[in-house]
């Protein structure tokens, strides 16, 4: 009987870990993004917002890829402070998303790049990062490199 209980606890623990929410509907999106911008300024990075919800299969696939692919995770951390922004029936964050020029029009997830001052630089439709029934790690890494702080540094483009 003890073995059965241990197996059930193990299985329920694994199930819970797989279904752990990545978005938090009750979170204050504006406050979280403000904190991410401050962190980006200190670390000389940009902010990458991933807007979506726990209901979104593609959001979960992207989150899983970042966690499981060391190259993608490294490229993300090298270039950005990463922040999830919830969009769900419980909380669409419409007021905040209006400040970003309504990125939800591109579907979900949608990525918004902010500079270290919190100014929107780019909105990325995630479909351009897909390949088949998932995400293309190469396209994602390229996106991170093209919109990271170093790529937009004017010093990099001066004639020497």
Q: What does the alpha-carbon distance between residue 46 and residue 40 come to, in Å, rounded to a whole number?
A: 6
- DSSP H helical segments within 26-92, as ranges? 29-43, 57-68, 70-79
pLDDT tens sequence across 22-52? 999 999 999 999 999 999 999 999 999 999 9
> What is the fold, at CATH topology level, of the domain defined by 23-151?
Glutaredoxin (3.40.30)
pTM, whole model, 2 decimals?
Answer: 0.87
pLDDT at 18: 57
Q: What does the alpha-carbon distance between residue 112 and residue 106 come to, in Å, rounded to a whole number?
A: 11
Q: What does the alpha-carbon distance between residue 10 and residue 160 come to, in Å, rounded to a whole number?
A: 61
Backbone Cα Rg of the chain: 18
pLDDT tens sequence across 48-69? 999 999 999 999 999 999 999 9
């Amino acid at each position: 009987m003890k073995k059965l209980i241990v197996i059930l606890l193990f299985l329920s623990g694994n199930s819970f870990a797989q279904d752990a929410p990545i978005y938090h509907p009750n979170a204050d999106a504006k406050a979280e993004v403000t904190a991410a911008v401050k962190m980006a300024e200190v670390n000389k990075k940009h902010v990458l917002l991933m807007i979506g919800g726990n209901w979104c299969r593609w959001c979960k696939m992207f989150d899983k890829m970042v966690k499981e692919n060391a190259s993608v995770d490294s490229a993300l951390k090298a270039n950005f402070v990463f922040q999830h922004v919830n969009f769900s029936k419980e909380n669409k964050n419409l007021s905040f998303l209006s400040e970003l020029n309504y990125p939800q029009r591109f579907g979900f997830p949608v990525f918004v790049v902010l500079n270290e001052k919190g100014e929107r630089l780019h909105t990325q439709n995630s479909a351009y990062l897909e390949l088949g029934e998932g995400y293309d790690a190469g396209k994602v890494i390229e996106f991170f490199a093209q919109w990271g702080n170093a790529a937009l540094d004017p010093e990099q483009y001066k004639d020497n």
